[in-house]
Amino acid sequence: MSPQRGIVLFAHGSRDPLWHRPMQAVAARVQAIEPQAAVVCAYLELTEPDLPTAAAGLIARGARSVTVVPMFLGVGRHAREDLPALMDALRAAHPAVAWQLQPAVGENPALVELLAHIALGEIHR
């Protein structure tokens, strides 16, 4: 059965392979919570796949809606300018796909709350 829903966890990227572990862990957890969705990581630079490649892969697997989740704590130029331009290009290239761009994770009050509790030492591994 092909997935109807695709989820892209979109981050900056790094040449350091250890940097990717948290992203991959989040992707694995999302996949465990919603096994019928197709979940991939994509990166702006310094590593692969990039967003267009990851999105095309989801569409090739049957995704008809794709949610892009910016995994940025801060809302800098990448989130404000680069990502919206990439989303416009995806919408133009794949008009039959329903695209959703979520706000950057750093804007989510639940994450801010969680980080505060971690900083206070209230949440441990």
pLDDT at 61: 94
Q: Which tens digit of pLDDT belongs to each residue from 17-41?
A: 899 999 999 999 999 999 999 999 9
DSSP string of 77-88, one letter each residue: HIIIIIHHHHHH
Cα atoms in the Cβ-side hemisphere of radius 13 Å centred on 29: 7
- The pLDDT value recorded for residue 111 is 94
pLDDT of residue 125: 67
For domain 5-119, say whether CATH 1.20.1440.230 is its number.
no
Contact 55, 90 (CB under 8 A): yes
Residue with tokens 């761009």: 101
**Domain ranges across the chain:** 5-119
Residues 6+ apart with CB under 8 A from 99: 65, 66, 68, 87, 90, 91
Per-chain mean pLDDT for the chain: 92
Which residues face 100 on adjacent strands? 67
How far apart are the C-alpha atoms of 72 and 87, rounded to whole Å? 16
To the question of pTM greater than 0.85 for the whole model, the response is: yes
Please name which of 22, 82, 73, 19 lies closest in space to residue 52, comparing C-alpha atoms: 82
Q: Which of 46-50, 51-55, 121-125 has the lowest mean pLDDT?
A: 121-125
- Predicted confidence at residue 78, as pLDDT, reads 66
pLDDT digits (tens, 9 = 90+) for 100-124: 999 999 999 999 999 999 999 998 7
CB atoms within 10 A of CB 88: 11
